[in-house]
Amino acid sequence: MLHERNQISSINARMRNLFFPDEPEETLEAVYQRLLEEGKKRFPNRIFILGSGDPKSKIVFVGESPGPPDAEFMKPFMGPVGDLLDKILASIGLNRNRIFLTNVVKFISAGKELTQEVLSFFKPFLHREIFAIKPELIVCLGSTPTKAFLDAKAMKISDLRGKFYDFQGISLIPTFNPAYLLRDPTKKREAWEDMKKIKRFLEEKGLPKTGEPST
């Protein structure tokens, strides 16, 4: 059923492009400008941390929300979580300068703070962010980003991970968030299996590796 719904979203994307081929494309800068304008009114006194990396990359990694170490550098995935992510990326020949890193929620939040109101506000901006970047692969780090793209509310990340799905014509694969792997290192083997699938996908698509220019 999930696969069928994702096929429908892909068809809808192609139909939109067919009937509105000249519709102007929104830039990443415009998405962020609008997000900050609306977000600071909706959620005052919050520090917003936007995506970073190569905005022309064909590979986007999406997490749940920034962590406290991210506020110091105003970049996502810093501190111990970022260190582990860097090792994971290096294991498949990537680094954070050749991909784009972002989160569903753009301010530091966790647990009960991730309300439906917060997620409902940021989800459309996440989709617009993705459409502006136009990647060929989205890697969802955890349950929250996966469910921001897929209609899979009742499914656990352990059931969703390691499989490829379609979001509006873009390939998507969920895996565990590095923060979760720090809490439960026994899941690192499964995460490595997911990374091997991602590496094969990149090789088949000829997507940029470390040191190669993005196109």
3-state helix, strand, coil in the chain (%, to 5): 50, 15, 35
Give dist(CA 78, CA 75) in Å, integer. Answer: 7
Tell me the residue ranges of DSSP E strands in 142-182: 165-167, 170-175
The SS3 of residue 82 is helix
Residue 50 inside a domain? The answer is: yes
In this prediction, residue 154 carries a pLDDT of: 67
Classify the phi-psi angles of 57: left when phi > 0, otherwise alpha if psi is within -120 to 50, otherwise beta.
beta
Q: Would you state the pLDDT for residue 213?
A: 43
pLDDT at residue 24, rounded to an integer: 61
Q: What angle do CA 127, 132, 136 make, to 5 degrees?
A: 80
> How confident is the model at residue 161, as a pLDDT?
96
Residue 151 lies in a domain: yes
**215 lies in a domain?**
no
- The torsion angles phi and psi of 22, rounded to 5 degrees, stand at -100, 10
Nearest to 123 by CA among 149, 102, 143: 149
Extended strands (E) in the chain: 52-53, 59-63, 100-103, 137-141, 165-167, 170-175
Q: What is the pLDDT along the chain (215 residues), one digit of tens a residue?
A: 544 444 444 444 454 444 444 456 899 999 999 999 999 999 998 999 999 999 999 999 999 999 999 999 999 999 999 999 999 999 999 999 999 999 999 999 877 888 999 999 999 999 999 999 999 999 999 999 999 999 877 689 999 999 999 999 999 999 999 999 999 999 999 999 999 999 999 999 998 644 444 43
Residue 28 has φ and ψ, to the nearest 5°, of -60, -40
| Residue 135 maps to a domain | yes
Q: Residue 211 falls within a domain, yes or no?
A: no
CATH of the domain at 129: 3.40.470.10
Q: Count of domains in the chain?
A: 1
List CB contacts of 82: < 8 A, sequence separation 6 or more. Answer: 69, 178
What residue numbers bound the domain in which 47 lies?
2-203
Within-domain flag for 163: yes
| Alpha carbon separation from 68 to 17, 71, 109, 118, 204 (Å, rounded) | 40, 6, 9, 18, 37
Give the angle 8-10-14 at the CA atoms, nearest 5°.
115
Please, which residues bridge with residue 100 across strands?
Answer: 53, 60
CB 152 within 8 A of CB 160: yes
